[in-house]
Chain A
Amino acid sequence: MEEVALIRIVAVKFLQAVPVILIISILAFLLLSLLPGDPALIIAGEQASPAAVEQVRRQLGLDRSFLEQLGIWLFNLAQGNFGSSLVLNQSVLSAVAERLPVTLSLAALSISFTIPVGVLLGSVAAYFRRTWIDSAVMTVALLGVSIPAFWIAILGVILFSVQLGWVPSSGFTPISQGVGPWFASLALPALILSLFQIGFLARMTRSAMLDVLGQDYIRTARAKGLSEWRTVGKHALRNALILIITATGILLSAAIGGSVIIEQVFALPGIGRMVVQAILARDYPLVQGTMLILGFTFVMINLIVDILYTLADPRVRHD
């Protein structure tokens, strides 16, 4: 009975994601048509001959009517065709697929720093609320969210790469060349990316925990003779987790967004760096397609978070 309910919830969430995906697709399409001026001219460049501009226009289908263009765009998308890069001589999909592992491993690594540290800091602050421990932890969290990422990145490179020589200052080593070098090439960028997130998650966790620690069932847990560790680590955290999971979805999306800057600073060949280069090279189809794929990724992340949330809360599960 429970499994059936679960499958139904998952199905409903998937259906709810469909209109969102459609809207994202249309927005990505509008991105190109809303550019000021003539996109064909911008893409071909100011110095291009009128014939060359016409060529670009036809190539991109810009000579057709607006609705026709939208129809073709959606039709192509439905077939998994996200367009082709003008510069890279590659389809958008393969360009993204090539760089996605870098961005994803960066995001995943930073999240795997963020979650244990953020949850621990937030829980400790909540448990020792209104003491010096709470103030100290929250000051660190505030620093994490307020220090600009590029500034701390430069400091980090000076300290860990130049002075200590622990990690390379830039570049990426694929995991196929060994887990150690891969980790070393991503550790510093991931750490810096997670600073902001740790601050954010610690604050979220603290307020969720404060709420939970005041609940009657926490008093019940203590009245049973459970240790503080079990009371907080099991009874309180399981409840706070429901809120923390929601925050994690935002974090993962933010980590992918934040990697644009970090990839730039550390010269990591990920999606963020590719998009920046594509914008500079006026490779609009690549920008457009990448935005779209990232949009889909965010939708999927939120979908997964939604489902995890359902799993964590038996009350939602049964409704």
Chain B
Amino acid sequence: MIMPLLSVRNLTVQFRVDSGWVTAVDDVSLDVGEGDCVGIVGESGSGKSVTALSILQLHQRATTRIPSGTITYQGQDLLRERGSTMRRIRGSEIAMIFQDPMSSLNPVLTIADQISETLRQHQGLTGVAARKRVVELLGLVRIPDATRRADDYPHRLSGGMRQRVMIAMAIACKPRLLIADEPTTALDVTIQAQILELLRDLRKELKMSVMLISHDLGVIAEFAQSVIVMYAGRVVEEAPVAQLFRRPVHPYTVGLIAAVPKLDSDAPRLATIAGRIPGPQEIIVGCRFSPRCALVQPRCRDEPPLMQPVSDGQSARCPPRILVLGERHG
């Protein structure tokens, strides 16, 4: 079996809050293969960002602990690495862009300064050579008038342009993996489509793997090959994207799919899942989705369900549904 580029196994992440330690991410496993595009979807608060930030160790050291799990990148366990090794990987092997392009760029440094910093850090590029590469990168992310834009401060650019700058910064050193955490959430719909298209093109051009995080299954459907569905800190289902839409297993996935706006439907209102996602400090015995689940059974509230394979490439954390579907198909 070929080893995936990135492999997260049984990752658990806890934060220190006033009342003690809470578990924000619980036993999460996922793989990103070479050249793959993996989508992670789930409502806000399901632990997507916490999972992603763990990969690059971007949590506050003092208030975070990772009691179990491994994060293997090209055979190297990143959770054992510190300091200089992590810094060498960040931005050059694995790059990351964030949700809010307004606050993610430093307001007092020019765009050229912020991009060339990455170039100097990882490629030793300075002066004219760095400048040339910055302009080239701005062109690559389709920022018009790149030579002049390079000397602007972030506040002079629109949200979409700033996200392009973030992308230029992220791809500056040709990373193998790009983690995009809600890259279009803060943007207008038309800009969203442009940014997604840009990411799609860059992925092909640079042959990089992408981990795309979004609360919007519509965005994921357009972009990803395989999907991880997260709920309240756990993975509840994973499947190739076509399979997920054709035959969703977990009731939460079913609910998410029903909530995607469809162009050809004239339904006046979108279906939403009743109730709200529990925070990490809320104790729920058994399945964490059970309080909101329409198909809940007594056993769901007794013990936490395990991930079970459903079919090739698909697995879910809902034994009752898997049993029912299995009987229907078998």
Q: Is chain B a partner of chain A in the same complex?
A: yes
**Which residues of A are at the interface with B, using a C-beta cutoff of 8 A?**
130-131, 215-217, 219-227, 230, 234-235, 238-239, 242, 312-315, 318
Asked if B118 and A224 sit within 8 Å, CB to CB, the answer is: yes
* Given A220-B98, A225-B121, A227-B87: A314 touches B62 (CB 8 Å cut-off): no
Q: Which of A216, A225, A238 contacts B104 (CB 8 A)?
A: A216
Instruction: Kindly count the residue-residue contacts between A and B in the assembled complex, taking CB atoms under 8 Å apart.
Output: 76
B43 at the interface (CB under 8 A from A): no
* Given A131-B62, A216-B98: A222 touches B109 (CB 8 Å cut-off): no
Q: A239-B106, A315-B153 are in contact. List 11 more A-B contacts (CB 8 A).
A: A216-B98, A217-B103, A220-B166, A220-B169, A222-B56, A224-B118, A224-B121, A225-B87, A225-B122, A239-B107, A314-B108
Q: Which residues of B contact A226 (CB under 8 A)?
A: 87, 91, 117, 121
The CA-CA distance from A220 to B96 in the complex, in Å, is: 8
B58 at the interface (CB under 8 A from A): yes
Asked if B107 and A222 sit within 8 Å, CB to CB, the answer is: no
The CA-CA distance from A201 to B56 in the complex, in Å, is: 34
Asked if A318 and B109 sit within 8 Å, CB to CB, the answer is: no
Within 8 A of A (CB), among B41-94: 56, 58, 62, 87-92
B105 at the interface (CB under 8 A from A): yes
Q: Which residues of A contact B153 (CB under 8 A)?
A: 314-315, 318
Asked if A238 and B155 sit within 8 Å, CB to CB, the answer is: no
Closest to B113 in A: A234
Asked if A216 and B103 sit within 8 Å, CB to CB, the answer is: yes
Asked if B92 and A225 sit within 8 Å, CB to CB, the answer is: yes
14 pairs from A and B in contact (CB 8 Å cutoff): A216-B104, A217-B106, A219-B58, A219-B98, A220-B105, A222-B56, A223-B58, A224-B95, A224-B118, A224-B169, A225-B118, A226-B117, A242-B108, A318-B156
B34 at the interface (CB under 8 A from A): no
Top 10 nearest A-B pairs by Cβ distance?
A225-B91, A225-B90, A216-B103, A224-B91, A314-B153, A217-B106, A225-B87, A223-B96, A216-B104, A224-B118
The CA-CA distance from A15 to B95 in the complex, in Å, is: 49
Q: Which residues of A contact B118 (CB under 8 A)?
A: 224-225
Asked if B56 and A223 sit within 8 Å, CB to CB, the answer is: yes
**Which residues of B are at the interface with A, using a C-beta cutoff of 8 A?**
56, 58, 62, 87-92, 95-96, 98, 100, 103-109, 117-118, 121-122, 153, 155-156, 166, 169
Taking the closest CB of chain A, its distance from the CB of B151, in whole angstroms, is: 10
Asked if B90 and A223 sit within 8 Å, CB to CB, the answer is: yes
Taking the closest CB of chain A, its distance from the CB of B95, in whole angstroms, is: 7
Taking the closest CB of chain A, its distance from the CB of B190, in whole angstroms, is: 24
Asked if A223 and B91 sit within 8 Å, CB to CB, the answer is: yes
Q: Which residues of B contact A223 (CB under 8 A)?
A: 56, 58, 90-91, 95-96
The CA-CA distance from A217 to B109 in the complex, in Å, is: 11
* Given A216-B98, A227-B87: A221 touches B106 (CB 8 Å cut-off): yes
Q: Which residues of B contact A130 (CB under 8 A)?
A: 62
Asked if A315 and B155 sit within 8 Å, CB to CB, the answer is: yes
Closest to B89 in A: A225
The CA-CA distance from A214 to B87 in the complex, in Å, is: 19
Q: Which residues of B contact A234 (CB under 8 A)?
A: 109
Q: Which residues of A contact B95 (CB under 8 A)?
A: 223-224
Asked if B90 and A224 sit within 8 Å, CB to CB, the answer is: yes
Closest to B109 in A: A238
The CA-CA distance from A251 to B121 in the complex, in Å, is: 37
Asked if A238 and B108 sit within 8 Å, CB to CB, the answer is: yes
Asked if B121 and A314 sit within 8 Å, CB to CB, the answer is: no
